[in-house]
Structure 1
Amino acid sequence: MLTSNRTRILVAVALLALAVGGSAAVPAGQVLVVEDAETGEQLLTAPVQEDTTVSIEYNHSVEKTRVLDEYTVRDGELEMTRMEFESYGWGLPARAEVHKENGSYVFDPEGSWEEVYVKPGHIAGHKLHVSGETYDLVALSDARSVRLHLTNQSVLDAALH
């Protein structure tokens, strides 16, 4: 009787270990990771899918006008697909082929990146928009540089976060 109970417990523990181990290996999907650029500490993970829009919005430090950098999740990278700005100023594309849309200059920049670095600032008020959610990058990072990148997340990681 005692051996039978021990066997059942050992079998239950083994099955539990297999279930946990299996869930760690099964991908739940892709996530956008925001981490401290110096320490690598994860500050935010947000689920994304192919063609999800990820935007960084801020106020231009000199012009004091809104700028929006838009990326689209494509093939495991962040492809820059749109930039909107309300006035020309330092660091903005003076020679780009732009068109006017709702009072803003708009263009489709080239480029796709595995990672994007941002230095959130109190004056600029950087915000991150992902899948209808808005995150305050300044508060999230305490105005420290962040690294944005995509990764696949397991079912276990998703459950723990």
Structure 2
Amino acid sequence: MSDGLGRRSVGLALASVVVLALVLAGGAAAVQSERVLVVEDAETGERLLATPVENGTTVTLAYNHSVEGSPVRDVYAVRGDELVMTRMEFASYGWGFPAQANVTRENGSFVYRPDDVRLSELHVSPGGVAEHRLHVDDKTYDLVARSDGETVRVHLEHRTKLQRMMP
């Protein structure tokens, strides 16, 4: 009789260890962090968009130049906790474009590749004339509609997988 009780005790102890390991593994997964690109109202901090990104993710701010009316694309790459500007593409020279920089022509556009522009955050004032859009890899977000035309702050932050599941 004690032999059956001994096996049962060992079985219960083994089951307890397995359950504890699963709970600990689930807890560790819940607190692992991921990097997210966040767009929030610059004044209130209200979160308008949060999407996971990795090193190398391309983030492009596309808009129409307010004076020229021509398309502009500011292209950034996620590197660590920064947005690094890799190039600016524009169709025509106008106010605010890099007049003294080394600009090349590619596929009918002017292209400027800055040396080392690293940003921890980017402020954008979306407008109906400019039609600001944010491209994150292959997804496009209408910043004018999301922000109701209010200035937004774009930045990177870390969040846990548990925070991602929370509303």
Q: How high is the TM-score relative to the length of structure 2?
A: 0.81
| Structure 1 segments of 4+ aligned residues over 4 angstroms from their partners | 17-24
Aligned residue for 2:56? 51
Match of 1:138, SS?
Answer: helix
Q: Deviations over 1:88-124 (max 9, x none)?
A: 1111111110110111000112310111111111100
Q: Deviations over 1:12-47 (max 9, x none)?
A: xxx9x98986555222x1110000000111100011
Shift of 1:75: 1.7
Q: How many residues were matched structurally?
A: 145
1:147 and 2:165 correspond? no
8 Å contact from structure 1 (residues 20, 156) kept in 2? no
* CA RMSD, Structure 1 to Structure 2 (Å): 1.9
Q: What does residue range 30-49 of structure 1 map to in structure 2 within 5 Å?
A: 30-49=35-54
Structure 2 CA distance for partners of 1:159 and 1:19, relative to 1, 3 Å: farther
Q: How high is the TM-score relative to the length of structure 1?
A: 0.84
Selected match of 1:133 from 139, 143, 148: 139
Structure 1, unaligned runs of 5 or more: 1-14
**Once structures 1 and 2 are overlaid, which stretch shifts more, 106-115 or 137-146?**
106-115
